[in-house]
Structure 1
Amino acid sequence: MEGICDTPAEKLASRDPQTLALMRLGSQSAERERVSEINWKFFCLQLEILKYFHQSGRLLHLYVFLHHLNVD
């Protein structure tokens, strides 16, 4: 199935609304999946950083650093 952005306007006009709605849902679902993957990778990165600082005994240093980032 062609994407909405790749389809010429006259072709889109000839499609029924249900088909267009399904195409939009497919695009939205793919976008949600990409965002979920980015969130998961970010979470894993945060976990690795925490493990590193915990194992090196520098967890307090990380806390102080992060606290200073949040100061106005």
Structure 2
Amino acid sequence: MGLWTLLEGCLLLANALAILNEDRVLAPRGWSFQEYSGVRRKSLKGQIIGLIYAAQYLRVPLILLNLLCILVKLVSG
């Protein structure tokens, strides 16, 4: 496993977090943004919720990274 494979895996994980819908997926399970804004920011659940919302906020850079990854795959293979 190389560094490129690890970076692709992180990109896929970021994509998975970015497409989660708050109303249909996160809120019914108690993972909404209101949970994050409370006192529990330092807990593991609060950190994961913050990571999900950061990935959703950075969708445009994710699109650009996906395009770059696709271009590298097309050129190299």
When normalised by structure 1's length, the TM-score is 0.36
Q: Which has the higher contact order (CA 8 A, sep 6+)?
A: 2
For the pair shown, which has the larger CA radius of gyration, 1 or 2?
1
Which has more helix, going by share of residues?
2
